[in-house]
Amino acid sequence: SQQGEEDPQALSIQEGENATMNCSYKTSINNLQWYRQNSGRGLVHLILIRSNEREKHSGRLRVTLDTSKKSSSLLITASRAADTASYFCATEGYQKVTFGTGTKLQVIP
Amino acid sequence: DTGVSQNPRHKITKRGQNVTFRCDPISEHNRLYWYRQTLGQGPEFLTYFQNEAQLEKSRLLSDRFSAERPKGSFSTLEIQRTEQGDSAMYLCASSRPQNSDDTQYFGPGTRLTVL
């Protein structure tokens, strides 16, 4: 079963705009991770945020975590066509990582 | 390229046949995971190993599925008597947990098509 639900399921933006994706989850977690998947390929780890952290940055990525609401958001600033991919949140609980259903992002050049 | 390799990349088989996939993790990683992913969905956990020990299996892993990691290095996933519902991408990931952080590095996957 999927632990997380990403919102929106699909997002289409113009190059240069910002993209925001949200993830909600159900149970307590140790950390939350975001992954990217290009069509038909494996997943690539983007960023990890621990349960005691509220915000984290990595390049053009900004992740927030609100454990009281059991939600996280991923912001990609100044999007590029190469950012076109599916983005998944993954929550890590006891000895197991559970993935959400993903947001499909399309960045139009 | 994350350093995790999977073979074959694609497998087409007829219903009822057995198939076996292989995963070679990053060499110093002690954990190895198998996931299944169908179109439009996130990866679903199947099983994972800590070194050679299989520590957890999902209820998705029916008795037709078996996974091994005999020497704590590469792993194989076998599906016996394949069914059309087994058609999916099978992903392998490896990790070396540190300080409760378990960042997983994924292979490119094996796409299985059961006719």
- Facing residue for B91 by CB, picked from A1, A42, A90: A42
> Tokens 């995971």 sit at which residue?
B33
- Over 70: is that where the pLDDT of A62 sits? yes
Q: What is the pLDDT of residue A102?
A: 92
How does pLDDT run across A11-61, given as a tens digit for each residue?
A: 999 999 999 999 999 888 888 999 999 987 889 999 999 999 999 999 999
Give the rounded percent of residues in chain B with a pLDDT score beyond 90.
74
Q: Where are the beta strands (DSSP E) in chain B?
A: 5-7, 10-13, 19-24, 31-37, 44-50, 53-57, 65-68, 75-79, 88-95, 105-106, 110-114
Note whether B91 contacts A97, CB cutoff 8 Å.
no
Note whether A41 contacts B108, CB cutoff 8 Å.
yes
B98 — contact with chain A (CB < 8 Å)?
A: no
Note whether B45 contacts A98, CB cutoff 8 Å.
yes
CA distances from B95 to A104, B20, B39, B67, B84 (A): 26, 22, 25, 17, 31
- Over 80: is that where the pLDDT of B64 sits? yes
Closest listed residue to residue B60, CA positions, set B81, B48, B49, B44: B44
CA distance linking residue A6 with residue B106, whole number of Å: 20
Q: What is the pLDDT of residue A94?
A: 67
B105 — contact with chain A (CB < 8 Å)?
A: yes
How does pLDDT run across B86-102, given as a tens digit for each residue?
A: 999 999 999 988 766 77
Of the given ranges (A62-66, B28-32, B57-61), which has the lowest mean pLDDT?
B57-61
How does pLDDT run across A67-103, given as a tens digit for each residue?
A: 999 999 999 999 999 999 999 999 887 667 788 889 9
φ/ψ of A4, rounded to 5, equals -105, 155
- Over 70: is that where the pLDDT of A1 sits? no
- Token pair, residue B81, equals 């008597």
- Over 60: is that where the pLDDT of B52 sits? yes
The verdict on whether omega for the bond into residue B8 sits within 30 degrees of 0, i.e. cis, is yes
B109 — contact with chain A (CB < 8 Å)?
A: yes
B115 — contact with chain A (CB < 8 Å)?
A: no
A53 — contact with chain B (CB < 8 Å)?
A: no
B28 — contact with chain A (CB < 8 Å)?
A: no
- Facing residue for A48 by CB, picked from B44, B101, B109: B101
Look up residue B61 and give its DSSP letter.
Answer: S
